[in-house]
């Protein structure tokens, strides 16, 4: 009975999350209710309560590691943005050729996403093209390509996408392996759509008369550049810290946040409290996306409850029985991630297949990181990056389906074929 009720709660919660914009209820609320109710049902139908409470505490420890990691990373990114640090990129784009600009924007999105994350990168890059492109039709096309490039860039980095971060923290993948084995497939996933898009871009680039450097807060060029590069280097140091110390990634990210906190306190020492406050870590923490953190909390609680009652293990058995090919299973999961959120999908798969079945750095986990990271680009609602672009540029779902989805689909399968060929030929 508990399994049936928890399945029903999961389906109801998932439906509410998918219909967030229709029912006007934030997906974080739906996820939290589903997560708590799942554990409530589990303990209510358990004869002995103590083991269930112990399991919950154990799962909360794993969940907390993911959430505090994300919160710390978001805070560092907000701190860079508060200092107008991303203007460092904007100032270096001087081309008047629209096709060249498309390649520059795509390549920057691809690599920046690996250092930050695909959602933040999409927001930064769309803000940037608003200053460069006065024509909204051009911006829509560029925004679609940015979503593809940002999601592709996030797939090959342990910090570029939430799902890849989850797999890294869960020890399904290691940082070095995911970078070396997914870089080329992810690059192909980005390059093919950009190459095809160049045929639809018309020159020349007309300068935007409203282009101006952002100066929301008065910071010096030194402060802007220093905080930008310090933030990027601190984020890049997290995998190195884990490799050297063997501590969880969370510890490296907390250290990076602490160092950035000290740096900004020293830089702004002596300034008046109003200016200093807006450039502080405390202010950046207030600007982080707390509903997203709570959404992840609710989803991960729900998935952990399903795993604890044995549902995920049963589902894995059904999948293995019906579809014997690992590659097809993973490709289908990737396509499914364009319809439903990839966070609960990956969390469910982590619960379905333990490390004893597929050990760390197994083909299964690496290919899963690629498909769930890039598959979300196929529909505008399939990834956080797509939803952000949709809101910022008012992208119509049908327009994206006609103009961008086929590009993303071609890139998705091209990158997948490259990964499978790479695995077969070089056993990588």
Q: In this predicted structure, what is the pLDDT of residue 152?
A: 95
What tokens appear for 125 in the block?
């890059």
Q: In this predicted structure, what is the pLDDT of residue 204?
A: 66
CA proximity to 408, closest of 200, 188, 201: 188
Q: In this predicted structure, what is the pLDDT of residue 128?
A: 82
Q: In this predicted structure, what is the pLDDT of residue 215?
A: 46
Q: In this predicted structure, what is the pLDDT of residue 217?
A: 55
Residues of the chain short of pLDDT 70, as ranges, are 203-218, 312-313, 316-317, 320, 340-341, 391, 427-428
Q: In this predicted structure, what is the pLDDT of residue 214?
A: 47
Q: In this predicted structure, what is the pLDDT of residue 212?
A: 47
CA proximity to 79, closest of 253, 232, 274: 232
Q: In this predicted structure, what is the pLDDT of residue 187?
A: 97
CA proximity to 352, closest of 368, 331, 336: 368
pLDDT digits (tens, 9 = 90+) for 105-161: 999 999 988 887 787 788 788 878 877 887 888 889 999 999 999 999 999 988 888
Neighbouring CB atoms inside 10 A of 381's CB total 17
pLDDT digits (tens, 9 = 90+) for 285-315: 888 778 878 887 888 888 788 878 877 667 7
What sections of 268-393 are H helices per DSSP?
A: 273-278, 281-287, 290-308, 311-322, 326-336, 342-352, 363-374, 384-393
Rg (CA), the chain: 22
Share of the chain above pLDDT 70, in %: 93
Model-level pTM greater than 0.85? no
HSE of 368 in the Cβ direction (CA atoms, 13 Å)? 28
Contact by Cβ (8 Å): 159, 241: no
């Amino acid at each position: 009975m508990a399994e049936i009720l928890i399945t029903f709660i999961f389906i109801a919660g998932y439906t509410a999350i998918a219909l967030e914009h229709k029912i006007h209820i934030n997906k974080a609320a739906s996820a939290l209710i589903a997560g708590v109710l799942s554990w409530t049902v589990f303990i209510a139908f358990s004869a002995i309560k103590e083991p269930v409470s112990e399991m919950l505490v154990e799962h909360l420890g794993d969940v907390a590691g993911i959430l505090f990691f994300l919160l710390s990373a978001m805070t560092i990114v907000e701190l860079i943005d508060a200092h107008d640090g991303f203007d460092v990129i904007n100032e270096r784009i001087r081309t008047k050729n629209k096709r060249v600009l498309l390649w520059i924007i795509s390549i920057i999105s691809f690599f920046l996403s690996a250092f930050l994350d695909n959602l933040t990168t999409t927001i930064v890059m769309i803000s940037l093209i608003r200053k460069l492109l006065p024509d909204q039709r051009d911006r829509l096309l560029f925004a679609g390509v940015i979503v593809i490039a940002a999601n592709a860039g996030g797939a090959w980095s342990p910090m570029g996408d939430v799902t890849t971060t989850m797999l890294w923290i869960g020890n399904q993948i290691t940082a070095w392996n995911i970078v070396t084995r997914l870089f080329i497939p992810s690059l192909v996933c980005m390059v093919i759509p950009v190459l095809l898009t160049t045929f639809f871009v018309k020159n020349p680039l007309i300068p935007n008369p409203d282009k101006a450097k952002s100066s929301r807060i008065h910071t010096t060029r030194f402060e802007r550049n220093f905080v930008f590069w310090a933030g990027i280097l601190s984020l890049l140091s997290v995998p190195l810290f884990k490799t050297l110390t063997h501590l969880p990634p969370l510890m490296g990210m907390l250290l990076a946040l602490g160092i950035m906190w000290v740096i900004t306190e020293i830089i702004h020492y002596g300034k008046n409290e109003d200016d200093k406050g807006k450039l502080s870590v405390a202010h950046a923490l207030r600007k982080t996306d707390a509903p997203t953190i709570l959404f992840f909390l609710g989803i991960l609680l729900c998935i952990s409850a399903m795993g604890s009652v044995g549902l995920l293990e049963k589902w894995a058995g059904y999948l293995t029985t019906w579809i014997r090919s690992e590659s097809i299973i993973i490709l289908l999961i990737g396509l499914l991630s364009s319809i439903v959120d990839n966070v609960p999908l990956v969390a469910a798969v982590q619960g379905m297949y333990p490390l004893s079945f597929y050990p760390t750095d197994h083909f299964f986990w690496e290919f899963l990181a690629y498909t769930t990271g890039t598959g979300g680009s196929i529909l505008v609602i399939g990834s956080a990056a797509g939803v952000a672009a949709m809101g910022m540029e008012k992208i119509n779902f049908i327009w994206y389906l006609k103009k961008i989805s086929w590009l993303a689909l071609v890139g998705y399968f091209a990158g997948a074929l490259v990964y499978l060929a790479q695995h077969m030929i070089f056993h990588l």
